[in-house]
Amino acid sequence: MSKQEGRILAIDDNEDILFALKLLLKPHVEAIDTISNPQQIPDYISTGNYDVILLDMNFTKDAISGQEGFDWLAKILEIDPSSVVVFITAYGDAEKAVKAIKAGATDFVLKPWQNEKLLATVSSSIKLRRSRKETESLRNKQKEISAVLDQPFHEFIGNSPEMKSVFSTIKKVAETDANVLILGENGTGKELVARALHRNSLRKDEIFISVDLGSISETLFESELFGHEKGAFTDAKKEKSGRFEIASGGTLFLDEIGNLSLPLQTKLLTVIERKEVIRVGSNNPISVNVRLICATNNNIHQMVEENLFRQDLLYRVNTVEIHLPPLRERTGDIPLLTNHFLKTYTKKYKKPIRGISAGALKILSQYHWPGNVRELQHAIERAIIMSDSESLQPEDFILSTQPRKMADIEIDTYNLDEIEKNIIEKVLKHHQGNITQAAVDLGLTRTSLYRRMEKYGL
């Protein structure tokens, strides 16, 4: 064992044992403290930040059973649950060793010890302590990252009956492990609901993983969701955990589940039913434990009727359904949302804008918002950036005051593919090839629109 970092605390009622431990370990560790009175343990543990604690199992008042050692082990772990404790005793047997490990000890060393064995045990224990601290640090960072990510989603904005119904459903289902399917148009806040469900669940301290299924190609689906082994395919230069593995213990949010092809639906269903994944290039199943939340802007029930979505998969993912209303169906929430975004973006861009005029608010309330809350948010952000007034005026908003009508699109066929192709062509032409605006009008994501354009050769 070479010189390494590590702070050791040795506890034994025999001063000769403590001297021997200090003599042996001092050349190899950063520091070693020794105490012969176990009553001093709480003070040392609370202030010492020790990597390894060498604890005698038998003190003077109880020299054989080891119970006092177990009592002090419990006290140490109560003070610092991540402590690495190694029992040292002259009265060891297999039963005590098993009991020690079950009680939370890391290892068990018999007196008289072999120097090399004790040094190896201390070395591995220091590494374990470092690993525990790194894991705890990563967990804390994950909590901090999740808190930052959740800030825009921390509170829903809305007093409308439609949103109160959504809030009520979230409150009822959040603390369960029931799978949830969120239905709603693009921009209505489906990920917001998913994060709220996670944040109020029993898994809130675990990880939340969001996956946009619309952005994952069919060829990479298994690798992304289930993982792969090194060399499983050409670009698999190292092994990779899939999203199911990473989210295990926490919540997995699968957005745009309605975009999956039938073969991929089958693969997803198998994983959900078996609660295990098999990485690409492996035959070994890996158990996963996730709370599954899915979302789609498609009419999923109609897709089932048309044999475009598996009914058994729908049964698996929609133990509870949450329907998010489009903004045009809850226009009473527009003033609240507007005020919220005003505060957010005036602070972000340091603009001295105090409010919004009645005329501008009227325009916002009358607009049909095909992009829903997301479009409103972007409209207010842009207006704040561009405005030179103390309050937002109607001219600060570039909105069409008339709903876009399908009557302008000629339909001379009953073939659904031809109709869809015709509509996409017209909308793209109307927006001069602007994919983002065309996607908003069509109620699609950019990825979904690109897929349809590729399908129809546009």
Please report whether residue 147 resides in a domain. Answer: no
User: Is pLDDT above 60 for 152?
Assistant: no
Please report whether residue 148 resides in a domain. Answer: no
With b for 16 or more beta-carbon neighbours within 10 A and e for fewer, the 188-210 pattern comes to bbbbbbbbbbbbebebbebbbbb
Please report whether residue 2 resides in a domain. Answer: no
- What is the reported pLDDT for 63? 57
In terms of pLDDT, which residue wins out, 22 or 439?
Answer: 22
Domain match, 314 and 377 both: no
Domain match, 345 and 382 both: yes
Confidence category of residue 456, pLDDT binned at 50, 70, 90: confident
Domain boundary among 261, 291, 323: 323
Domain match, 229 and 183 both: yes
Domain count along the chain:
4
Tally of CB atoms within 10 A around 451: 15
Domain match, 312 and 347 both: no
Domain match, 131 and 47 both: yes
Strand ranges in 324-427 using DSSP code E only, listed in sequence order: 355-356, 391-392
Domain match, 391 and 447 both: no
Please report whether residue 145 resides in a domain. Answer: no
Domain match, 48 and 172 both: no
Please report whether residue 144 resides in a domain. Answer: no
Confidence category of residue 402, pLDDT binned at 50, 70, 90: very low
Domain match, 182 and 310 both: yes
- CATH number, domain of 73, equals 3.40.50.2300
User: Is pLDDT above 90 for 150?
Assistant: no
- What is the reported pLDDT for 357? 94
Q: How far is CA 275 from the centre of its chain?
A: 18
The answer to whether residues 120 and 1 touch, using CB atoms and an 8 Å cutoff, is: yes
User: Is pLDDT above 80 for 240?
Assistant: yes
Domain boundary among 356, 378, 396: 396
Residue 31 burial class via C-beta count within 10 angstroms: exposed 0-12, middle 13-18, buried 19 and up: middle
Domain match, 122 and 167 both: no
- CATH number, domain of 431, equals 1.10.10.60
342-386 tens-digit pLDDT: 999 999 999 999 899 999 999 999 899 999 999 999 999 999 999
Please report whether residue 143 resides in a domain. Answer: no
Enter the pTM of the model.
Answer: 0.61
- CATH number, domain of 384, equals 1.10.8.60
In the chain, the largest separation of any two C-alpha atoms, in whole Å, equals: 99
- CATH number, domain of 306, equals 3.40.50.300
Domain boundary among 323, 338, 372: 323
Please state, rounded to an integer, the average pLDDT across all residues of the chain.
86
Three-state SS for 182? strand
Domain of 356?
Answer: 328-396
Amino acid sitting at position 196: A
Domain match, 318 and 267 both: yes
Domain match, 332 and 318 both: no
Please report whether residue 125 resides in a domain. Answer: yes
For residues 386-413, give the mean pLDDT. Answer: 71
Lowest mean pLDDT among 130-139, 156-165, 211-220, 226-235: 130-139
Please report whether residue 121 resides in a domain. Answer: yes
Three-state SS for 143? helix
Domain match, 214 and 297 both: yes
